[in-house]
Amino acid sequence: MPATDLTPPPRPSRPAARLAAVQALYQRDMSGAPVPDLLREFHEHRLGREIEGDALADADVDLFDEIVSGVALNAAEYDQVIQAALAAGWTIERLDRPMLQILRCGTYELAERKRTPKGAIISEYVDVAKAFYESPEPGFANGVLDTIAKTLRG
């Protein structure tokens, strides 16, 4: 039996789930789609699919669902936490929509997923920011999420 037959299947990707959650919440922000419809669309047409010839990583669907549902349910609460972490003179309204979703998702995880190390959460959302932006926005996301982590986790 070839050794490749003994290789376990790849684990669902948490980074892919986080990126997809930000995309889904951005789409919800733009369209107002109900969360169940949004989850169904992503399950059926996006997660682990091929788009424009590029195979997407097989996302951790449970994590994706948890983040999207949790952020949608408590966005106003997370917005208050984000606003408190912004530098003087900044308002949450000044953030563009993708950055707001990145910060909401990161705040959700820092608040609700206490078993996940804060450094891992921050690092992964900085990587998500890099998928949307060049410098300096990923550094901005890092700074805000670090401030939020100190507030929520000490």
pTM: 0.87
Q: Is the pLDDT of residue 5 over 90?
A: no
Q: Is the pLDDT of residue 96 over 90?
A: yes
Query: Contact 22/128 with Cβ under 8 angstroms?
Result: yes
Q: Is the pLDDT of residue 120 over 50?
A: yes
User: Whose CA is closest to 124, among 140, 136, 147, 142?
Assistant: 142
**How does residue 55 score in pLDDT terms, banded at 50, 70 and 90?**
very low
Percent residues over pLDDT 90 in the chain: 73
What domains sit in the chain, N to C, each tagged with a CATH number? Answer: 9-153 (1.10.940.10)
**How does residue 9 score in pLDDT terms, banded at 50, 70 and 90?**
low
